[in-house]
Amino acid sequence: MIRFEDVSVTYDGAPEPTVRQVDFEVPEGELVLLVGPSGAGKSTILNAVSGLVPHFTGGTLRGRVTVAGRDTRTHKPRELADVVGTVGQDPLSHFVTDTVEDELAYGMESLGLPPQVMRRRVEETLDLLGLAALRHRPIATLSGGQQQRVAIGSVLTPHPSVLVLDEPTSALDPAAAEEVLAVLQRLVHDLGTTVLMAEHRLERVVQYADQVLLLPAPGAPPVLGAPAGTMAVSPVVPPVVELGRLAGWSPLPLTVRDARRRAADLRARLQDKDQEKEKEKEKDEEQDEEQEREGAAAAVAAACEPVPPRPRRWFRGRRPAPAAPPAPYAAEVRSLAVRRGPVRALRHVDLTVSPGETVALMGRNGAGKSTLLSSLVGLVEPASGSVRVGGAVPHRTPPRELVRRVGLVPQEPRDLLYADTVAAECAAADEDAGAAPGTCRALVTRLLPGVADDTHPRDLSEGQRLTLALAVVLAARPPLLLLDEPTRGLDYAAKARLAVLLRGLAADGHAIVLATHDVELAAELAHRVVLLAEGEVIADGPTADVVVSSPSFAPQVTKILAPQRWLTVAQVAEALA
Ligand SMILES: Nc1ncnc2c1ncn2[C@@H]1O[C@H](COP(=O)(O)OP(=O)(O)OP(=O)(O)O)[C@@H](O)[C@H]1O
Ligand SMILES: Nc1ncnc2c1ncn2[C@@H]1O[C@H](COP(=O)(O)OP(=O)(O)OP(=O)(O)O)[C@@H](O)[C@H]1O
């Protein structure tokens, strides 16, 4: 159905092709997952299927791409629209109408479908994607995940025979992602739809794939194969596969269920190690107590020795150092209520974040996470209650002053980037932040090596753009750092680099709040998880306590090794070492 014959794509001005020797075929009625590190060229391949490469992006495409027999070089995207439905990484840029219902109908209208068919399909899709309550809403007022659902719905309604999806679940909460993937699988199985989908969060999608197309590195030819075989050689793998590799399981499991079936031995080994460690800990504690007793005895002996006269209070023993005054909260939210248009987006929200603490804000799409972050940077005003950041009231603090207290990396990093080149963006960030020239650029290099100074931020891949936005915010080293879905578009390596950076910032005393659907990231980084539902806090506690008890928010390792309480592969590896 989709065929690439020795395809290479070279963007204008690029010294080398971005992808080369791309040669594969996706048969009708298969779901093929496109995986690979950030910048490897996944979006380039997807855009070549829909014809956006090279008709809209420019550059040169060599070789031949055909979709349902049509050559994309001779057929413009418009002429492929009846066969191919595309959802890009940035849904906002695709919307053509104002309201949810209109957007769902638009594609069908352009194809001239009869009104009664359109009506039926709009209703079906509203139900299928949980959008019925939002049908009359202006799209601009929807949360990020709600917009992503509309974008997916709008390509489903015309029933195209080919779907090309670039990270379709990146803004979705875990349950919504499962629902969307189940819908796609139904289309593939029941209607014979062909799906080519790129996704970084493999833990969500790999079990749905018939085949995996792996782009191992920028410019390296892709490899198409069965999921388990491809995962065995892939540089990017989900935690379930990483755990399988660590435990030496073969064939590698791709689902939590498969892994659980094999995990009895691993659980037993971890239990033994746990008991050994517990015994060592008890021994250490006994030794510590012994030393303390000896120390106390020595102190008593010393105190009893004849001593020169001293003020009486000296004999009362060593006084504890004066308790440090409690550090002020980096963020303090009390009884906060926020309205957004007719929607009560937050109600009775209490939240404190201390310096050095990393808090993950989680919860369904539309639960109010972005609204809470927006309140902390003064972008929305409380209807009632109070918000303080480093003692200041954000919406009454001038931006130049606020930037030194709090920085937000928004869900759409484009909102933060204005300059024509990476270098100019970084120079402006250093100036705004009063940071030493080169600060922001050094951060970009550290997080994402290999991005050239003169690249236009528009031409960066999604993951690269997010990293640039993060570096722009970090240049001011704000004591409170807020990140809205920071792992959208990031591969596992970029995520690991981000985790190291954020851990370092937390260790330096920065307070960090992440709004995220990425349960693996929360498990890795957060000290605390705060769960929101319909604008209210429904749980607030240590990460392990909150996520372990939730089937939606538990990471893969937790599910595989339950009832033991492990969160990440790194913890398991450390325990086994
Ligand atoms: N229109 C363009 N003009 C010039 N260079 C581009 C353009 N689009 C993409 N690139 C470059 O091509 C490379 C591959 O980008 P692409 O978006 O295809 O990667 P990707 O694998 O989808 O990355 P990600 O997973 O981060 O989205 C990147 O280095 C990017 O900067
Ligand atoms: N300008 C607006 N007008 C009306 N309603 C709005 C507006 N902005 C947001 N909302 C609504 O407020 C609620 C909270 O939105 P918010 O963006 O805070 O959710 P979220 O938890 O960040 O969601 P997501 O996980 O999808 O990003 C949603 O129901 C959203 O539709």
**Lowest-pLDDT range, 74-83, 152-161, 318-327, 338-347?**
318-327
Closest ligand 2 atom to residue 532 Cα is 21
Closest ligand 2 atom to residue 373 Cα is 18
The residue ranking higher by pLDDT, 448 or 527, is 527
pLDDT at position 306: 41
The residue ranking higher by pLDDT, 81 or 277, is 81
Residue nearest ligand 1's atom 25 by CA:
38
pLDDT in tens, 163-183: 999 999 988 999 899 999 999
The CATH code of domain 2-235 reads 3.40.50.300
pLDDT in tens, 331-366: 999 999 999 988 999 999 999 999 999 999 999 999
Give the chain's mean pLDDT.
87
Measured distance CA(369)–CA(535) in Å, rounded: 8
ipTM: 0.91
Residue nearest ligand 2's atom 19 by CA:
366
Report which of 176, 142, 165 is spatially closest to residue 47, judged by C-alpha positions. Answer: 165
Rg, C-alpha atoms of the chain: 27
- Region 478-491 average pLDDT: 89
pLDDT at position 321: 42
Ligand nearest to the CA of 46: 1
Q: Is the pLDDT of residue 322 over 60?
A: no
99 touches ligand 1 (CB under 6 Å):
no
Which two structure tokens, joined as six digits, stand for 140?
Answer: 């601009």
pLDDT at position 82: 87
pLDDT at position 315: 30
- Region 39-57 average pLDDT: 90
Cα-to-centroid distance, 162 and ligand 2 (Å)? 31
pLDDT in tens, 407-427: 999 988 888 888 999 999 999
Q: Is the pLDDT of residue 81 over 90?
A: no
pLDDT in tens, 425-474: 999 999 988 889 999 999 888 877 788 889 898 888 777 888 899 899 98
Cα-to-centroid distance, 425 and ligand 2 (Å)? 29
Report which of 277, 284, 247 is spatially closest to residue 262, judged by C-alpha positions. Answer: 247
pLDDT at position 531: 95
pLDDT in tens, 492-508: 888 888 888 899 999 99
Measured distance CA(297)–CA(317) in Å, rounded: 12
In our burial notation (b when 16+ CB lie closer than 10 A, e otherwise), range 413-440 reads bbebbebeebbebbbbbbeebebeeebb
- Best CATH choice for the domain 331-572 from the list 3.50.50.60, 3.40.1440.60, 3.40.50.300, 3.10.129.10: 3.40.50.300
pLDDT at position 539: 93
Q: Is the pLDDT of residue 312 over 50?
A: no
pLDDT at position 290: 66
pLDDT in tens, 371-397: 999 999 999 999 999 999 988 999 999
pLDDT at position 467: 84
pLDDT at position 20: 92
For a substitution probing ligand 1, which of 57, 165, 236, 459 has the most ligand atoms within 8 Å of its CB? 459
- Region 313-320 average pLDDT: 34
- Highest-confidence range of 302-306, 527-531, 548-552, by mean pLDDT? 527-531
pTM equals 0.84
531 touches ligand 2 (CB under 6 Å):
no
Cα-to-centroid distance, 38 and ligand 2 (Å)? 28
pLDDT category at 293 given cuts 50, 70, 90 is: low
Measured distance CA(532)–CA(366) in Å, rounded: 10
Cα-to-centroid distance, 334 and ligand 2 (Å)? 20
Residues of the chain with CATH 3.40.50.300: 2-235, 331-572
Closest ligand 2 atom to residue 142 Cα is 31
455 touches ligand 2 (CB under 6 Å):
no
365 touches ligand 2 (CB under 6 Å):
yes
pLDDT category at 487 given cuts 50, 70, 90 is: confident
The residue ranking higher by pLDDT, 320 or 536, is 536
DSSP assignment of 324-389 equals PPPPPPSEEEEEEEEEETTEEEEEEEEEEE-TT-EEEEE-STTSSHHHHHHHHTTSS--SEEEEEE
pLDDT at position 309: 37
Q: Is the pLDDT of residue 137 over 60?
A: yes
Ligand nearest to the CA of 18: 1
pLDDT at position 549: 75
Q: Is the pLDDT of residue 303 over 50?
A: no
Percent of the chain scoring above 70 in pLDDT: 91
DSSP assignment of 60-104 equals EEEEEEEETTEETTTS-HHHHTTTEEEE-S-GGGT--SSBHHHHH
390 touches ligand 2 (CB under 6 Å):
no
pLDDT at position 362: 95
pLDDT in tens, 206-243: 999 999 999 998 888 999 999 989 998 898 899 999 99
Residue nearest ligand 1's atom 13 by CA:
39
pLDDT at position 325: 47
pLDDT category at 284 given cuts 50, 70, 90 is: low
Q: Is the pLDDT of residue 276 over 90?
A: no
- Output phi, psi for 411, to 5 deg: -60, -35
Q: What is the largest CA-CA distance in the chain?
A: 105
Q: Which amino acid is at 108?
A: M
- Region 34-49 average pLDDT: 91
Cα-to-centroid distance, 557 and ligand 2 (Å)? 31
Measured distance CA(42)–CA(245) in Å, rounded: 25
For a substitution probing ligand 2, which of 179, 340, 531, 537 has the most ligand atoms within 8 Å of its CB? 340
Closest ligand 1 atom to residue 58 Cα is 1
345 touches ligand 2 (CB under 6 Å):
yes
Cα-to-centroid distance, 339 and ligand 1 (Å)? 38
Report which of 221, 540, 505 is spatially closest to residue 359, judged by C-alpha positions. Answer: 540
Percent of the chain scoring above 90 in pLDDT: 59
Residue nearest ligand 1's atom 8 by CA:
459
